[in-house]
Amino acid sequence: MPIPRLPYPPPSGRPNGLPPTMVPTFTPQPSTVLERPLPRDVSSRFGVRLRELRRQHNMTQLRMATVFGIDRSFISDVERGRKSISLPMLEVIALGMRISLSDLLRDL
């Protein structure tokens, strides 16, 4: 049985020689996964991460400050994205929470 042929020659640039009205188009669909919006700057994103970790460890800012030797107001400012944090301080936090630096910075 012969393969059916189009009644017209296939135009170049169109898939399978379909007429323009039959060319499939891609329409992006909105994502069905609801994700929390990330704050814009890295300091704010790290602050959100630090707060999540602190709460996972059932620590208040005061307890964290006392145990890690950090000023409580500094922890508050970092969590709100108002202050940046140094690498040595990141190491103190990671060691205190018994996680790696890469886990501390995950998903930033």
CA angle 74, 86, 68 (to 5 degrees): 55
User: Residues in the chain with pLDDT < 50?
Assistant: none
pTM for the model stands at 0.63
93 to 18, 67, 71, 75, 101: CA distances (angstroms): 61, 10, 12, 10, 9
pLDDT for 54 equals 95
Please, what are the domains in the chain?
42-104 (1.10.260.40)
